[in-house]
Structure formats: structure tokens, C-alpha cells
Amino acid sequence: MSDKNPFSVILGKMIVTKEGKRLGFVKDATFETSSGELINLVVKDSTPYTKNLNLERTANNDLLIHYSAIIAIGDFVIVSEEDLI
């Protein structure tokens, strides 16, 4: 059984920390083109709570969440806040 899912499965999902803080929704993702490996999730409709975090931004000022912060993907994308800082 493969644990790989198409990107459309996570597109639009809410991103929350494991503590339950809402960060926004998945807008897009950046991938390594040669391997297809996920690099970052791009956040849309970010919440005011994200201002407390030191997140990278795109040239368009969208927030980025590095793949290493992702804990699980189900009904929500759950991330570790400690790995975001």
C-alpha cells in the first residue's frame, strides 16, 4: 500500500497545530521537480495567530510551512508549532 496521495487530497484543507491553533488553508505546494518531494505548503487565508510565528514567505508574501513540520494529513493538515519557529 502506498502512502502517497495526489496533491488534490490536501488542497484547501485547514492547517492546524497539534495544539489546535488554526493557521489557514492549503493554497499550493512547492515540490522538488526531479524527485516530486514536497518542500513547502503555501498558506491561504492565514489567521492572525500566524503573525506570532516566524514563517518564511513567498515573493507574493504568502506564508510557507516546511514539510518537516507536517505531522499528519487527514481531515486537517496537522503541523508541529515547534518545528515552525
Domain CATH number, residue 58: 2.30.30.240
Confidence (pLDDT) at 76: 95
Range name among 20-24, 36-40, 61-65 with the lowest pLDDT average: 36-40
Residue 36 corresponds to which cell in the numbers above?
A: 516530486
- Is residue 2 one of the residues assigned to a domain? no
Global pTM? 0.87
36 within a domain of the structure (yes/no): yes
Average pLDDT over residues 45-52: 94
Asked if residue 1 belongs to a domain, the reply is no
25: CB partners within 8 A, 6+ apart: 12, 13, 14, 15, 43, 44, 45
Q: How many domains in the chain?
A: 1
Which is nearest to 7 in space by CA: 77, 60, 68? 77
What DSSP assignment string belongs to 26-65?
Answer: EEEEEE-TTT--EEEEEEES--GGGGGS--EE-TT--EEE
For residue 78, give its domain range: 7-83
Domain presence at residue 75: yes
Examine residue 42 and state whether it is found in any structural domain, yes or no. Answer: yes
